[in-house]
Structure 1
Amino acid sequence: MTKSVRIAAWNVNSLKVRLPHVLTWLQSQEKAQKPIDALCLQELKLTDDKYPHRELEDAGYLSFSAGQKTYNGVAIILRRAALAPMASDVESAFLKPVRNIPHHIDEQQRILAATVCFKGMQPMRLVSAYFPNGQSPDSDKFVYKLAWLSALEAWLKNELSQNSRLALLGDFNIAPHDLDVHDPAKWIGQNLVSPQERAAFDQLIGLGLADSFRMFEQAPKSFSWWDYRMMGFRRNAGMRIDHILLSQALQEKCIASIIDKEPRTWEQPSDHAPVIAEIEA
């Protein structure tokens, strides 16, 4: 019987390029006896017909995707060994996946949600989300970002009323506090740290969600994203913009939340590192 599950989020910045990294990371966690039971990916940058279902299935994982050519795209990858046995096939462990925010007209694939039945656990609602970047506070893309955040909040409020065990995982493109930024003074007035974006993040917390990473004591200067330019990773000039938010029922069961920086050291890495939360049964 499963004693706990580990759920993770990772912006891979092109799954076509980073699939070997995803498989290597999942296998390394398995070998370390710390398997990732659910991995939410962002920024796939490929369409569903190009999604590597076969490669992931061969490695022991089931997955769903909501892809888009060149940009965006999200997925949920599940370790088959962790899923509860079902009467028919494993797909029956899911409610109908939500592939975008209902009632929000948007061609961009940024949301994928599914209810998962892990062994020995009550069902868990997982939401893989790729928040808009916003570009700059004086741009149309920023207006779009704020509208998207508002639609997300309304949708999540409804989701939480139906799913007490919910986790929102992904690249939020928001550093919620100054301690999540390598040099706050340099970022004043910029995208990712604006008062409007941080207020939107706080609105999500106000729904009853908690930032799992901040539930535990963490090392200072803990980041999940580093710019490829200016030796950002080497200088640890990063930001914490990838998050796992948990509903109250999951907060009570969360025993750890970390950032795994190792994949950022690999050749041709994503500019993001995976973030992980561990949930007890």
Structure 2
Amino acid sequence: MRIASYNINGINSRFAVLERWLKEFQPDIVGLQELKCTDDAFPAAAIEALGYSAIWHGQRAWNGVALLSKVGRPVETRRALPADPNLEQSRYIEAAICGILVGNMYAPNGNPQPGPKFDYKLAWLDALKAYAQDLIDGEVPAMLIGDYNIIPTDEDVYKPERWKKDALFAPAAREKFRELVEQGWTDALRKTHPDERIYTFWHYWRNSFERDAGIRIDHALLSPPLAKKLKKAGVDRTPRGWEKTSDHGPMWVELKL
């Protein structure tokens, strides 16, 4: 089974990109982030026509998350973290699909920092960590995928010195990610590419993609029951080179279920 995560950066404005990628890559389950549309504006019929059932949690102009599946209709279990510090922002959706629990997130950016936006980022990550511990304690076959807006280490960024003042690379944010992984989660991309610089995001400016001046902020964390079934993981860089595309590339995980 192939499960992917894709920050689409506006589902309606980039639907042609999403449609082309779904047809070419054929993922079984997809977590989408940054829908940037209300629930009513979500292109449900068009996605259904591509063979995918979907659940979504939208927000006008900002945020928004969705789960697509062609291996069984997603059974929604959550559309916010239990202790979410701001329920007005649509940042998390979760469903049971084919016997696994898939949590899909768009974590806060946190810039500028320090300041209230960074405080909110840390509070949201604390809520995520608390809930993630419950999943670990319950031995749930779960995966937490999405745009974490965290660059975990120096190996996950093209030039670390250029990101020192950014909330994505702030020590406090990186520490939250480290604590999360240390609960017992497996970072699928790093597990399968232990010594490789592998990126999921490239800015639109300065030919960042062409120069491969990227960062890794999209992650898939697997609980111990699922980590045993991990076969492969990677980033599909192809759609990042298309016209009018997202600044993210889809990341994916392949599980033997």
Specify the alignment match of 1:86 in structure 2: none
How far is the alpha carbon of 1:137 from its aligned partner?
A: 2.3
Would you identify which runs of 4 or more consecutive aligned residues in structure 1 move more than 4 Å? none
Specify the alignment match of 2:21 in structure 1: 25
How far is the alpha carbon of 1:221 from its aligned partner?
A: 3.2
How far is the alpha carbon of 1:75 from its aligned partner?
A: 0.2
The residue type paired with residue 235 of structure 2 is I
Specify the alignment match of 2:207 in structure 1: 231
Give the alignment's Cα RMSD to 1 decimal: 1.4
2:81 is aligned, of 101, 111, 128, to: 101
Specify the alignment match of 2:95 in structure 1: 114
How far is the alpha carbon of 1:97 from its aligned partner?
A: 2.7
Q: 1:220 to 1:161 in 2, by over 3 A?
A: closer
Specify the alignment match of 1:185 in structure 2: 161
Q: Within 1, Cα distance between the matches of 2:171 and 2:179?
A: 12
TM-score (ref. length: structure 2): 0.95
8 Å CA contact 2:85, 2:124 repeated in 1: no
Specify the alignment match of 1:53 in structure 2: 44
Cα offsets for 1:206-254 (capped at 9, x unmatched): 2211110111236743211011111111111110111111011111100
1:7 aligns with 2:3: yes
2:238 is aligned, of 262, 277, 281, to: 262
The residue type paired with residue 27 of structure 1 is K
8 Å CA contact 2:187, 2:221 repeated in 1: yes
SS in 1 for 2:210: coil
Give the structure with higher Rg (CA). Answer: 1
The residue type paired with residue 255 of structure 1 is K
Cα offsets for 1:176-204 (capped at 9, x unmatched): 01010000122223221111011000111
SS in 2 for 1:229: coil
Aligned positions, number: 256
Q: Within 2, Cα distance between the matches of 1:226 and 1:110?
A: 22
Q: 1:218 to 1:19 in 2, by over 3 A?
A: farther
The residue type paired with residue 60 of structure 2 is K
2:60 is aligned, of 54, 57, 69, to: 69
Cα offsets for 1:9-56 (capped at 9, x unmatched): 000100011111111111112xxxxx3110000000001111111001
8 Å CA contact 1:264, 1:272 repeated in 2: yes
1:154 is aligned, of 130, 141, 154, to: 130
Q: Within 1, Cα distance between the matches of 2:65 and 2:55?
A: 9
Q: Within 2, Cα distance between the matches of 1:248 and 1:159?
A: 10
How far is the alpha carbon of 1:105 from its aligned partner?
A: 4.0
SS in 1 for 2:209: coil
1:38 aligns with 2:20: no
8 Å CA contact 1:125, 1:163 repeated in 2: no
SS in 2 for 1:226: coil
8 Å CA contact 2:139, 2:225 repeated in 1: no
Stretches of structure 2 lacking an aligned partner (at least 5 in a row): none
Cα offsets for 1:35-87 (capped at 9, x unmatched): 311000000000111111100111110000000000000000001xx23xxxx
The residue type paired with residue 97 of structure 1 is T
2:174 is aligned, of 189, 198, 203, to: 198
